[in-house]
Chain A
Amino acid sequence: MATMSDSKTNEINLTEPMITRPFRVNRAIKDTHDTFSLELTPSGNSNKFDFAPGQFNMLYVFGVGEVPISISGDPAKQSKLVHTTRAVGNVTKAMNKLKAGDTLGVRGPFGTAWPVKEAEGEDVVLVAGGIGLAPLRPVIYHLLANRGQYGKIALLYGARTPEDILFQKTLEKWRSRFDFEMYITVDRATGNWKGNVGVVTQLIPRSPFDPLNCVAMICGPEIMMRFTVLELEKRGVTTNKIYVSMERNMKCGIGLCGHCQLGRTFICKDGAVYPYSQIADLFTKREL
């Protein structure tokens, strides 16, 4: 095999991709009763972390384990790396106990990005379900920072209850903007909730965007994404302009461990963000 030493070495990342880098926790924020955000200070020469909206990192809690978590912070603020997580498993529960000054291992960024460049000049519809808002937040930061590049921007967000609504202060700030449309719905109204009740797909028919000149980005449970696509299609959005973010078990993040396979694709390297048209045939296959 003569191809080994002279093959594409220029494209190869020759640092060991499985070695984690310890980052300092700058701030631990409790978002809701079961979700939290960790703001990290990148270590290394530049103290900067460059990523594209939609990418994820593998986060390592010393000795406990590693999980793939989307980056939820502002891509323009490279000295502050933010992830938002729900405490559900061993690793995320241990992560929830970290405080300012503690260390968290980071590998990444990995995966594909939301099509913020392709969406320039068009309306943008963002549909989020639950914690699915977290991977979409970097997109919103980007869109608002470059507001002149886009048409209408609409965020449709569904949470379980009013108490589960993420980033409430940020959402309030965005709501007050005249160039940003936001609709929130909850599955179950509690307290003095006076807003929408029901699934997020109900918001699609009445939200203001031009279906023929828009890009849609969806993140949430698979079933929610599937019905969101159907609603968007009903309004005339074509599937190559609908993007979804997929999730599977991931152990390496670099396409070598095999866990995240969805048919022909590896979600960690071919996704997690896909144009829906690229994986439409895989979406409805059970147990794939």
Chain B
Amino acid sequence: MPQETDKKISHYILKATELKSLLDILFQREYHVIAPSIRDKSIEYDPIASFDEITRGWIDHQKPGSYRLANDEQDRFFGYVVGFSSWKKYLYPADKKLFEAEMDTKNFRVIEDGTAAPKYAFLGVRSCDLKAIEILDKILTEGPYVDLDYKRARDNALIIVVNCTRAGENCFCYSMGTGPRAYSGFDLALTEISDGEKHYFLVDTGSRSGEELISELGLSSASEDEIKTAEKAIEQTIANMSKILNTDGLKEKIWANLDSLYWDEIAERCLNCGNCTLVCPTCFCADIEDTTDIAGEKANRTRKWDVCYTLNFTYVHGGSIRTSCKSRYRQWLTHKLSTWIDQFGMFGCVGCGRCITWCPVGIDIAEEAKQLIESS
């Protein structure tokens, strides 16, 4: 958990060949290191046991409904942007046992899950995803009720950000104010520079834990030139980000269009599959499942990610509230871009573009929001 000690960020240089040393320290400190790897032809955040398991030399091409990996000519470690899953699967698992209960003739007793909180080190968190974690912090830890499992995992987590030096085709973090560079909330933030001759990371420190890692590695401070080079690379990312969502008055504009006929047009394409909710780094809706063993003596309570696109989601005695496809898409988009602000004081969208990429019919939240507003 990053502790803000000094608002001033210090900058250091980590050579590409020294990344292994950083990882080795994390392993020594018994962190459960999660880093990008390739699974199912996509970037995935997986547990790794050694530096060699980190993926390198890939970039991604994302379009609405399309994701392809390609070779990175610059052979960077972090040339791609975001894959299909986000860090929420570690902090807020898709399937989490809450308790077990045992029946003894007429009475049952509850046995709480005593599993120790994991100690994660996340390597390669993008700025948009860091903001998504901050959104989950707000929802799950700032009350009135607290998800204690989330809070414990979050308190233990070490976060190493990678600032984006390349904009994905579906990225719009700059519009949402969430990227491409992270300014706080991390332990370390890396900006990867690879210009054919040199290959290094500009390292920003964001916490005491981050500072400690730097001193253990014995890194030297970055020069003005090196800092400027990184800044330029990030400015270039912003300049290259073609997807834009105008957020001025967006909350009010979306809400004002609740009865728009444009929702019907979206509903003609939307399959109500719920992929967008599963890949979304901020979607937090969950189902509570109670089950028993076959003898009826032991019961389990499990929390599972839920999807607001199902008919069951709004079922009350007598039927469901949201019976039409359009009402369920409307709920999702309206929640992300409008009512989330009423509820939590921030957008529920960080502009990571995952819902666009992984939508089987390529529905684009930024584009639909724009069309919806223009249709009125």
Contacts and interface: CB of A to CB of B under 8 A. Distances in A.
Contact of A16 (B3, B112, B141): B112
A5 B296 CA distance: 41
A22 B101 CA distance: 10
A149 B288 CA distance: 43
B317 interface: yes
B49 interface: no
A244 B339 CA distance: 21
A164 B226 CA distance: 79
Contacts of A17: 145-146
Interface in A203-230: none
A285 B331 CA distance: 12
Interface of B is mostly: mixed
B169 to A, nearest CB: 30
Interface in B295-314: 296, 299, 301, 303, 306, 308, 313-314
Interface of B: 1-4, 98-99, 101, 103, 106-110, 112, 133-134, 137, 139-148, 151, 154-155, 184-185, 258-259, 284-288, 290-292, 296, 299, 301, 303, 306, 308, 313-318, 321-324, 327, 330-331, 334-335, 339, 342-343
Contact of B288 (A13, A252, A261): A252
Contact of A4 (B1, B306, B321, B335): B1
Q: Which 7 A-B pairs have the closest CB atoms?
A: A63-B292, A258-B285, A264-B342, A287-B327, A2-B4, A63-B299, A254-B145
Contacts of A202: none
A109 interface: no
Contacts of B146: 12-14, 17
Given A2-B2, A2-B4, A261 B110 contact: no
6 contacts: A1-B185, A8-B142, A8-B143, A63-B103, A103-B108, A255-B145
A257 B321 contact: no
Interface of A is mostly: loop
Interface in A57-79: 60, 62-66
B151 A4 contact: yes
Nearest to B322: A287
B373 to A, nearest CB: 18
A249 interface: yes
A261 B339 contact: yes
A261 B321 CA distance: 11
Nearest to B98: A18
Given A101-B106, A254-B145, A287-B324, A88 B292 contact: no
Contact of A14 (B1, B148, B342): B148
Contacts of B184: 1
Given A2-B4, A248-B321, 9 more contacts: A2-B3, A11-B144, A16-B112, A20-B110, A24-B107, A63-B296, A102-B106, A258-B306, A269-B144
Contacts of A287: 321-324, 327, 330
A265 B140 CA distance: 16
Interface in A13-52: 13-14, 16-22, 24
A279 interface: no
B96 to A, nearest CB: 10
Contacts, number: 158
Nearest to A253: B145
B344 to A, nearest CB: 10
B274 to A, nearest CB: 13
A89 interface: yes
Contacts of B286: 251-252, 256-258
B315 A63 contact: no
A105 interface: yes
A8 B143 CA distance: 8
A4 B154 contact: yes
A254 B321 CA distance: 20
Instruction: Select the residue from A88, A254, A287 with max chain B CB neighbours within 10 A.
Output: A287
A18 B149 CA distance: 11
Contact of B148 (A16, A102, A248, A263): A16
A257 B285 contact: yes
Nearest to A61: B290
Contacts of B323: 287
Given A2-B3, A5-B1, A254-B145, A249 B290 contact: no
A60 B287 CA distance: 15
Contact of A251 (B1, B103, B141, B287): B287
A106 to B, nearest CB: 11
Nearest to B285: A258
Given A2-B4, A259-B306, A251 B321 contact: no
Nearest to A285: B258
A4 B137 contact: yes
A256 B137 contact: no
A56 interface: no
A247 interface: yes
Nearest to B96: A18
B137 A65 contact: no
Nearest to B313: A259
A284 B132 CA distance: 33
B303 to A, nearest CB: 7
A276 interface: no
B151 to A, nearest CB: 7
B337 to A, nearest CB: 12
B267 to A, nearest CB: 12
Contacts of A14: 146, 148
A263 B143 contact: no
Contact of B284 (A21, A65, A258): A258
A247 B316 contact: yes
A13 B316 contact: no
A148 to B, nearest CB: 34
Nearest to B101: A62
Nearest to A251: B288
